Amino acid sequence: MAVLMATASCTAYRAALESSGEVVGERTLVRRVGWLAALAQTMTTQILTERWTGAALSDLASGTSSDGRALPAKGWMAVRRLSWGCAAPAGVYVPERVRRIAEEEAARALRLALHRRTVLAAVCATWPADPARHSEAEWRALRAALPAGVSTAQIRNRTRQVRAHLTAHGSLPIDVTGLEEVPVVAAQVLLAAADKQLVTLTRATAVPADAGASGGPGTDKGGGPAAGDGHDGPQTAVLRVKLPLVAAPVSRADWAWHVIVFTVPPHVPTHAAWCAPTLRVAAHRLRVDLPFTVPLPVVSAVGHRVGLGLDWGVNTLLTGTVARLTHPTDDGLTGKPGSGRTTGPAGGRVVSDGRMLRYDATAISAKLHRLRAHRERLAAKRDHYAALLPGMCAPHFQWADLQHHHARAAAEHERVCARIRRLNHALAWSAARWAVDQAIATGAGVIYLEDLATLQARGRRRGNARLSGQVRGLVVAAIRHLAAKASIAVVTVPARGTSKYCPRCGTGTSVLQHVAAPDRPKRAGWKWARCSCGLSADRDWAAAERIVARGLLGQSHTRTDRATGHRTITVVVEGNVARARRPRAEARRVRRANRTGRDSFVRPDRPGPTLGKGRSTPKRPGRPPRVAQGARVVRGEAGLAQASRRVPEWRTVPAPTTVGQRPAGHEPQSGHPLGSRSGRARDFQHRTGFHRARATPVIRLSAEYGPRAGTATPTQAV
């Protein structure tokens, strides 16, 4: 069995004091958790400030304490073994477990710094003659010096950091402590480091009618997993935690047990095992980050007959195709190892159903591009004000104005960054959900993707409106997570040459001609692929066919990374892809779905819409956002700065949903290519969560199509 680990973010609205049953409202609860987080943050910062030296980092890296014993794996224990433990601030009493939390957080920050230090040492040791570009030999030397699993982005970031230091000081940095300031830790409470003297977490045996407000919560303790399976109702967790009653507690009496009852989101399976959560305060809400583990059956890397191949587009985020290996007992599953690029085996044929699956995020990609440009403008403005400020002394009549402008630019920049982050996240999970749903609905046991590492090396960076590599990384991570839950394997295949050669003929020799459009075959372009064999198809679709063929035919070359569990095929096994028709009834269903744009597939693991419920539940009217009142505290500034109303502090991007609410933005206008209010409206929002993400509908289709085993030519449907 494998284990899937994930974190569910929950919100707690109120608590009850265990001793008296007194209800603690949200505002008070948030304040008390904030005090605890601030205490832990202060103590962590104290340790980090004292130990932010090369010698201390070397002590931690050596893995042994001064008496020769090995350091424990647990961070707080290692910190204590090195006698780096912290004390509470003067005049403040904290339980011993709170000190543990602070020490654990410090140990994690320092261990992360150790990793950066190793990368930095490798980058400095192999510093190239010309910092702007590494030669092939320099890259090899750098890769040899680096520890395994360091990504290209990490190397790039360290190199930039060193280059900046070199420009400023004229020398390479000695250590990470000379290059970076003391790490800043977040205000959060890592309850994982504490034990039952500070925290307990249990499942509620029954869902209370008024969660948190019910008295006598001690009776909820000790319950096993919630009764019932499937989606009988939301799971409820009972978190008992000791919180300070004042900002600076002076004695044991200033701490009290609080019982916090919160609802666990429905995507956490009922059989999942919960771990101790992390508490943090975000936007005046108490967030409970609940890690959980789910045992999953191990998915085989080989023996797949039906696969989904996905290609990355420039603006079209994903283009895919489903293909099937016709003779599972043929060479196709055993391959020809060690021969590098081989031609397709004579018997095993890859047959596609000729249906292009596409997740087109052009409009969202353009939005991201506009936001990125806006972010750059704001950063330039902010830096300009910052540069002007020191030149003006305080009595200057424009001093206050300038400071106000600077604070406002900084606040707006922060909000635009957050907006980009949330949009990236929402887009990535929406696309991943769509891709995994397509795989489930068509009976594919494996998803083949291009290897992002080889994709970047190829340098496909062109055009401004392209989706950033960051989104692609997020999509891959999300697909891996969702596919693991559905027992679908995810395998990366080499990206080189996927859109260069024809998938229909030639097996890696017939070069495709790329033109602007199918009706303009003479005009060179990007979007359309043509071949002398008669193939005329979307460029990304042709590439997706090659990807799925490489995956299905090269299964025997699958390698699994021991550390990450990620699967890769590094050997290119080429084979032609034929197309076969689906049975008539299925083809008709596909046509109908394409016409309406509606899915006919509901995920097996989610509840359907409630019968008789015509609309989504309206949101509770909450506290008005602070921006509406025209004031917002800017971090690092003493006064208040007013941010422009054009940049809202919060902009919700809803999660992908079948029955959920409509996202922010306008409804497509009548006559708009995306749809109209007439009967033939094509509603893309219902699955993707975005009005303007055009995604192929998900339809449940049989995995058995094309020729029977033993039939040579795949022409007729079964």
Residue numbers at the binding site for Zn ion (CB under 5 A): 502, 504-505, 510, 531, 533, 535
Q: How far is the CB of 500 from Zn ion (least distance, A)?
A: 12
Q: How far is the CB of 530 from Zn ion (least distance, A)?
A: 9
Contact (Cβ atoms closer than 8 angstroms) between residue 569 and residue 492: yes
Closest to 157 in 3D by CA, of 109, 120, 108, 115: 120
Rg of the chain's alpha carbons, rounded to an integer?
29
Nearer to Zn ion, 535 or 587 (CB): 535
Q: How far is the CB of 532 from Zn ion (least distance, A)?
A: 6
Nearer to Zn ion, 504 or 694 (CB): 504
Backbone angles phi, psi at 60, to 5 degrees: -70, -40
Instruction: Please enumerate in sequence order all residues whose Cβ is within 8 A of that of 382, keeping only pairs 6 or more positions apart, or say none.
Output: 406, 409, 410, 413
Closest to 75 in 3D by CA, of 113, 40, 108: 108
Nearer to Zn ion, 118 or 510 (CB): 510
Tell me the HSE value of 20 on the side-chain side, using a 13 A CA sphere: 4
Q: How far is the CB of 531 from Zn ion (least distance, A)?
A: 3
Residue type, 531: C
Q: How far is the CB of 502 from Zn ion (least distance, A)?
A: 3
Residue type, 214: S
Nearer to Zn ion, 16 or 537 (CB): 537
- Plot region of 476 (φ>0 → left; ψ -120 to 50 → alpha; else → beta): alpha
What single-letter DSSP state applies at residue 221?
T
Contact (Cβ atoms closer than 8 angstroms) between residue 626 and residue 640: no
Q: How far is the CB of 512 from Zn ion (least distance, A)?
A: 7
Contact (Cβ atoms closer than 8 angstroms) between residue 563 and residue 149: yes
Q: How far is the CB of 683 from Zn ion (least distance, A)?
A: 37
Nearer to Zn ion, 15 or 577 (CB): 577
Nearer to Zn ion, 187 or 505 (CB): 505
User: How far, in Å, CA of 281 to CA of 307, rounded?
Assistant: 43
Count of residues for the chain? 718
Closest to 241 in 3D by CA, of 192, 204, 300: 192
Collapsing DSSP to helix, strand or coil, 653 comes out as coil
- Start-to-end CA span in the chain (Å): 37
Nearer to Zn ion, 534 or 710 (CB): 534
Q: Which two tokens stand for residue 267?
A: 């995507």
User: How far, in Å, CA of 530 to CA of 537, rounded?
Assistant: 7
Nearer to Zn ion, 575 or 656 (CB): 575
Q: How far is the CB of 351 from Zn ion (least distance, A)?
A: 16
Nearer to Zn ion, 49 or 509 (CB): 509
Instruction: Please enumerate in sequence order all residues whose Cβ is within 8 A of that of 577, keeping only pairs 6 or more positions apart, or say none.
Output: 323, 350, 351, 352, 503, 504, 545, 546, 548, 549
Q: How far is the CB of 345 from Zn ion (least distance, A)?
A: 19
Collapsing DSSP to helix, strand or coil, 706 comes out as coil
Q: How far is the CB of 537 from Zn ion (least distance, A)?
A: 10
Q: How far is the CB of 575 from Zn ion (least distance, A)?
A: 13
Q: How far is the CB of 534 from Zn ion (least distance, A)?
A: 7
User: How far, in Å, CA of 46 to CA of 389, rounded?
Assistant: 31
Q: Which two tokens stand for residue 105?
A: 């957080």
Instruction: Please enumerate in sequence order all residues whose Cβ is within 8 A of that of 253, keeping only pairs 6 or more positions apart, or say none.
Output: none
Q: How far is the CB of 501 from Zn ion (least distance, A)?
A: 8
Nearer to Zn ion, 411 or 531 (CB): 531
Closest to 275 in 3D by CA, of 200, 187, 219: 200
Collapsing DSSP to helix, strand or coil, 2 comes out as strand
Nearer to Zn ion, 510 or 642 (CB): 510
Convert 458-474 to b/e letters by CB count within 10 Å (16 or more is b).
eeeeeeeebbebebbeb
User: How far, in Å, CA of 266 to CA of 228, rounded?
Assistant: 14
State the Cα angle at 480 between 475 and 486, rounded to 5°. 125
User: How far, in Å, CA of 507 to CA of 545, rounded?
Assistant: 12
The separation between CA 106 and the C-alpha centre of its own chain, rounded to angstroms, equals: 25
Nearer to Zn ion, 489 or 531 (CB): 531
Nearer to Zn ion, 550 or 557 (CB): 550
Backbone angles phi, psi at 552, to 5 degrees: -65, -35
Nearer to Zn ion, 516 or 535 (CB): 535
Tell me the HSE value of 430 on the side-chain side, using a 13 A CA sphere: 33
User: How far, in Å, CA of 336 to CA of 76, rounded?
Assistant: 51
Q: How far is the CB of 685 from Zn ion (least distance, A)?
A: 38
Closest to 52 in 3D by CA, of 187, 169, 181, 174: 181
Q: How far is the CB of 545 from Zn ion (least distance, A)?
A: 11
Q: How far is the CB of 707 from Zn ion (least distance, A)?
A: 20
Nearer to Zn ion, 82 or 502 (CB): 502
Nearer to Zn ion, 76 or 528 (CB): 528
